[in-house]
Amino acid sequence: MAKNIAKNDSKLNDSKLNGSEQNANTQISNSVEDYLKAIWLTAQDGAASTNALAEQLNIAAPSVSAMLSKLQALEFVVYERYKGVSLTAIGKARALELLRRHRLIETFLFEHFEYSWDEVHEDAERLEHAVSPRFIERLAVFLDHPSHDPHGDPIPCPDGTLPDTPNMALAELKAGEHFVVARLLSQASDVLAYLEKLKIQPGTQLKVIDIEPLGGLVHVLIDELPQALSKELAMIVRGSIVLSA
């Protein structure tokens, strides 16, 4: 079926797409959902490359190619061979809806089922495809409509907007500044576990003692204790400057 689509594709092809109108509310497969989410996570509002998606999804690049043609036919993406792919309004809405499910589920597992920070992701990854709109609505009420998940990532609202999220990197601060951590830009469990050991989590307050000039090593004070973070690690710690100590 990917072949047929690809053949129609060969010259110019915005004409006569088959599944035209009904895709705003159509039931879509887990795979399609995953691709849409991956495109959003990879490119936000820009264009994602096939290889980047293949890596994000852990799927071989040719499989991604075939699926992109299918998503194009479904009008979830705009895709030009060899040029990358980006989400249409409908595709983006679907991606954000899935992201909302994912992050609400993570929040629930973390707050009520005593999951550790790095355990939530893989379970949420499967549950997000299985929950109904009713479940998500009730879950949001149960959690009292949180705006951010345990990693500090914003939870998309039902209307498709994203809550504001402090996004300054710890690595960009200057000596003497005070900082409150809002978000950790990583899903890697070893990274999260390391940061947890340093007591760096959403809500943590810290002070920058000094920044090493060459490698960008960041010296901070957390709970009166001095700690050091590499520039790379300090780049994924996001938050905002605070004025008073």
Partner DNA sequence: TAAGGGCATTAGATATTTCTAAAATTCAAC
Partner DNA sequence: GTTGAATTTTAGAAATATCTAATGCCCTTA
Q: Which residues bind DNA (CB under 7 A)?
A: 1-3, 6, 9-10, 29-32, 34, 49-52, 58-70, 79, 81-84
Decide which of its own copies, DNA, none touches 134; Cβ closer than 5 to 8 Å per partner kind: its own copies
Q: Which helix (H) or strand (E) holds 192?
A: helix 189-197
Site for its own copies in 85-124 (CB under 8 A): 109, 112-115, 119, 122-123
DSSP at 78: E
- From the CB of 230, what's the least distance to its own copies, in Å? 32
First vs last Cα of the chain: how many Å apart? 61
CA–CA distances in Å: residue 219 to residues 214, 238, 239: 13, 16, 16
Decide which of DNA, its own copies, none touches 194; Cβ closer than 5 to 8 Å per partner kind: none
> What letter represents residue 56's amino acid?
Q
Across 46-72, b (16+ Cβ under 10 Å) vs e yields: ebbbbebbbebbebeeeebbbbbbbbb
Decide which of DNA, its own copies, none touches 1; Cβ closer than 5 to 8 Å per partner kind: DNA
C-alpha of 3 from chain center: 31
Decide which of DNA, its own copies, none touches 126; Cβ closer than 5 to 8 Å per partner kind: its own copies
Give the total of residues touching its own copies (CB under 8 A). 19
- From the CB of 26, what's the least distance to DNA, in Å? 11
| 223 CB burial (10 A radius; 0-12, 13-18, 19+) | exposed
Decide which of DNA, its own copies, none touches 29; Cβ closer than 5 to 8 Å per partner kind: DNA
- From the CB of 109, what's the least distance to DNA, in Å? 24
The answer to whether residues 79 and 122 touch, using CB atoms and an 8 Å cutoff, is: no
How many CB atoms lie under 10 A from the CB of residue 227?
16
Report the distance separating Cα 42 and Cα 68, nearest Å.
14
The answer to the question of residue 129 lying near its own copies (CB under 8 A) is yes
Decide which of its own copies, DNA, none touches 244; Cβ closer than 5 to 8 Å per partner kind: none
The answer to the question of residue 145 lying near its own copies (CB under 8 A) is no
- From the CB of 113, what's the least distance to its own copies, in Å? 4
Judged by beta carbon, residue 70 or residue 238, the one nearer DNA is 70
> What letter represents residue 165's amino acid?
T
Report the distance separating Cα 94 and Cα 159, nearest Å.
11
Judged by beta carbon, residue 82 or residue 243, the one nearer DNA is 82
Single out the residue of 130, 188, 193, 225 in contact with its own copies (rule: CB under 8 A).
130
Binding footprint of its own copies on the chain (CB under 8 A): 109, 112-115, 119, 122-123, 126-127, 129-132, 134-135, 138-139, 142
